[in-house]
Amino acid sequence: MKCPRDGTILSKVSLLGVELDKCHRCDGIWFDRGELDRIRDSGVTDAEEVLEKRYGNPKAVAEKVEGHMRCPRCDGRLQRFSYSYIEAVSVDRCEKCLGLWLDDGELNAIAGQKKKMDKELDPGRLKSFLRSIGRLFGKE
């Protein structure tokens, strides 16, 4: 499989038991359908750092492609797609096989959201919030 941006042969990398295809030139990553959801649900927030530590960190030169990029898997057209989880992140999705191409930084933008949400629902913070309400009503 080749990078849709620069034609570099994608290398197999593995992250949390999921096999991904990564471009070592521009740092983009190909996710087959469902793979990104698995990474996201694992709650890992530094996925890109983990990959960079293991496989190196090339200078990100995400080349602009004229017209549509082509899917490395099935040669379908990649289209801008709003990957919506908590906050939408704009990525490239194949209209045929529904695989996703993520440029440098986009993986962390998606995977980091779960952690952010968990923090907002942190039980410690909730407790202190309830305590401050209790104080309002003269308890404590």
Residue ranges binding Zn ion (CB under 5 A): 3, 5-6, 8, 23, 25-26, 28, 71, 73-74, 76, 94, 96-97
**CB of 104 vs Zn ion, minimal distance in Å:** 9
* C-beta of 35 vs 114, nearer to Zn ion: 35
At 28, give phi and psi (nearest 5°). Answer: -75, 160
**CB of 92 vs Zn ion, minimal distance in Å:** 11
* C-beta of 42 vs 76, nearer to Zn ion: 76
Q: Is 49 left (phi over 0), alpha (psi -120 to 50) or beta?
A: alpha
**CB of 64 vs Zn ion, minimal distance in Å:** 12
- C-alpha–C-alpha distance, residues 36 and 25, integer Å: 21
* C-beta of 5 vs 40, nearer to Zn ion: 5
* C-beta of 70 vs 114, nearer to Zn ion: 70
**CB of 26 vs Zn ion, minimal distance in Å:** 3
Asked if residues 12 and 21 have their Cβ atoms less than 8 Å apart, the reply is: yes
* Burial (CB count <10 Å: 0-12, 13-18, 19+), residue 63: exposed
